[in-house]
Amino acid sequence: MLSKARKLPDVSVTEIGVEDDAAWDGWRDRIGARSAIVLEEEKRRLQQLGLIDEDWGTRTAELPDDMRPSSKTSVET
């Protein structure tokens, strides 16, 4: 989404030779850095919503109303 654009490490692969280990190692490092940023942002968002704790554990075992078997939108009804 462009409105939420942020600076993330570039992970595009451009002209890396099959045997160019240093370039592949650099690409792998950029993938890891980008993943860490995205995961941290998502963790923060889910914590702010009260859905997870610091260790990624769910804060509740209850289903939302629209996912319960009694819901009119349930696959069981």
Per-position pLDDT tens, the chain of length 77: 444 557 787 877 777 777 778 888 888 898 999 999 999 999 999 999 888 999 999 888 888 888 788 888 756 54
Cβ-contact 53, 59 below 8 angstroms: yes
Written as six digits, the tokens of 71 are 């819901």
CA-based end-to-end distance of the chain: 35
pTM of the model: 0.60
What is the Cα 51 distance to its own chain's centre? Answer: 15
